[in-house]
């Protein structure tokens, strides 16, 4: 369990059935079982070699409580899932898994590698309220993680909250502030090299927004 996986694990609440969508190595699934966070775990992956890693890691230790599924997203899973994790996939892939699901569980923990803003918008459209939503630093990268609950009373997001995540704007963690500083450096570098006036204007607007948040 590296820092990224520990952070994701910390957001998974005790439940009956947990699904690890795009499980790959299966480390999270194993931790959920080892720590008794869920009674039953479904590990799903679209790739047989990836799924085999999870099956090998967990072996026969949890017979009757651990099940693997070669599945595109939720498509081949039973529907008794209480909480699902979709982590380490691109934002667009995450969206397509949400769109393609025959049904979605009451709780979702999502860690898209990109386009977290689109994922937030989709969750709200699907009737979820977002209760945790922050950026964290692990293994030389910044990650966004979002926990959403269906039917949670939710007062809507501002445009900035969709873009950056509400907890970041309210809590202003060190990781988020460092992320903004890094973004500012990237924008300043891009501005040095930009020639197209439209692009320059766009970069300047982004820089101003980043400076406002810092
Ligand atoms: C980068 S790994 C992430 C593994 C793990 N979730 C993590 O966060 O460390 C992405 C995994 O998602 C799987 N995957 C990609 N698209 C998928 C889909 N539509 N349905 C299920 N699994 C998918 C890939 O095969 C791969 O094993």
pLDDT at 178 (0 to 100)? 97
pLDDT at 153 (0 to 100)? 82
**Cα of 45 to ligand 1 centre, how many Å?**
6
**Cα of 31 to ligand 1 centre, how many Å?**
17
Considering the domain architecture, whether residues 130 and 187 belong to the same structural domain is answered as no
Contacts of 130 (CB under 8 A, 6+ apart): 120, 123, 124, 146, 147, 148, 152, 154, 157, 166
Tell whether ligand 1 has an atom less than 6 A from the beta carbon of residue 87. Answer: yes
Considering the domain architecture, whether residues 157 and 196 belong to the same structural domain is answered as no
Q: Which residues span the domain enclosing 82? A: 3-161
Considering the domain architecture, whether residues 195 and 128 belong to the same structural domain is answered as no
Q: Contact 137/179 with Cβ under 8 angstroms? A: yes
Considering the domain architecture, whether residues 41 and 126 belong to the same structural domain is answered as yes
The DSSP code sequence of the chain is --HHHHHHHHTPPPEEEEEEET-TT-HHHHHHHHTTSEEEEEEEES-HHHHHHHHHHHTTTTTTTEEEEE-STTTTS-S--SEEEEESS-HHHHHHHHHH-SS--SEEEEE-SS-HHHHHHHHHHTTEEEEEEEEEEETTEEEEEEEEEET-------HHHHHH-HHHHHH--HHHHHHHHHHHHHHHHHHHH---HHHHHHHHHHHHHHHHH-
Considering the domain architecture, whether residues 50 and 151 belong to the same structural domain is answered as yes
pLDDT at 93 (0 to 100)? 98
Contacts of 213 (CB under 8 A, 6+ apart): 160, 164, 169, 180
Considering the domain architecture, whether residues 154 and 189 belong to the same structural domain is answered as no
- Please choose from 25, 45, 94 the residue to mutate so as to test ligand 1's pocket, defined by most ligand atoms within 8 A of CB: 45
- 58 inside domain: yes
214 residues of the chain, pLDDT tens digit each = 899 999 999 999 999 999 999 999 999 999 999 999 999 999 999 999 999 999 999 999 999 999 999 999 999 999 999 999 999 999 999 999 999 999 999 999 999 999 999 999 999 999 999 999 999 999 999 999 999 999 888 888 999 999 999 999 999 999 999 999 999 999 999 999 998 999 999 999 999 999 999 9
pLDDT at 13 (0 to 100)? 98
CATH of the domain at 38: 3.40.50.150
Contacts of 157 (CB under 8 A, 6+ apart): 120, 124, 130, 166
- 168 inside domain: no
Count of structural domains within the chain = 2
Considering the domain architecture, whether residues 119 and 51 belong to the same structural domain is answered as yes
- 90 inside domain: yes
Q: Among the atoms of ligand 1, which is closest to the Cα of residue 113?
A: 1
Tell whether ligand 1 has an atom less than 6 A from the beta carbon of residue 93. Answer: yes
Considering the domain architecture, whether residues 120 and 201 belong to the same structural domain is answered as no
Residue nearest ligand 1's atom 9 by CA: 88
- 30 inside domain: yes
pLDDT at 154 (0 to 100)? 81
Considering the domain architecture, whether residues 39 and 98 belong to the same structural domain is answered as yes
Tell me, yes or no, if the pTM score tops 0.75.
yes
Considering the domain architecture, whether residues 42 and 98 belong to the same structural domain is answered as yes
Considering the domain architecture, whether residues 24 and 106 belong to the same structural domain is answered as yes
Residue nearest ligand 1's atom 12 by CA: 22
From residue 213, alpha-carbon distances to 181, 185, 203 in Å are 10, 14, 15
Joined tokens for residue 122 = 């989709």
Considering the domain architecture, whether residues 197 and 112 belong to the same structural domain is answered as no
């Amino acid at each position: 369990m590296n820092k990224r996986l520990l952070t994701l694990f910390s957001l998974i609440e005790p439940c009956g059935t947990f699904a690890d969508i795009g499980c790959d190595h299966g480390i999270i699934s194993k931790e959920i079982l080892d720590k008794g966070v869920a009674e039953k775990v479904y590990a799903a992956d679209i790739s047989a070699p990836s799924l085999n890693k999870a099956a090998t890691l967990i072996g026969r230790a949890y017979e009757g409580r651990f099940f693997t599924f070669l599945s595109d997203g939720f498509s081949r899973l039973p529907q008794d899932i209480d909480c699902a994790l979709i982590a380490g996939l691109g934002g667009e892939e995450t969206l397509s898994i949400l769109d393609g699901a025959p049904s979605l569980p009451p709780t979702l923990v999502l860690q898209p590698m990109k386009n977290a803003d689109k994922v937030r918008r989709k969750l709200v459209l699907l009737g979820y309220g977002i209760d945790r939503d922050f950026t964290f630093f692990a293994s030389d990268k910044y990650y966004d993680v979002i926990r959403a609950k269906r039917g949670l009373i939710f007062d809507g997001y501002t445009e900035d909250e969709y873009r950056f995540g509400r907890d970041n704007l309210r809590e202003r963690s060190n990781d988020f502030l460092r992320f903004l500083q890094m973004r500012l450096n990237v924008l300043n570098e891009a501005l040095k090299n930009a020639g197209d006036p439209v692009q320059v204007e766009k970069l300047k607007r982004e820089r101003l927004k980043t400076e406002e948040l810092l």
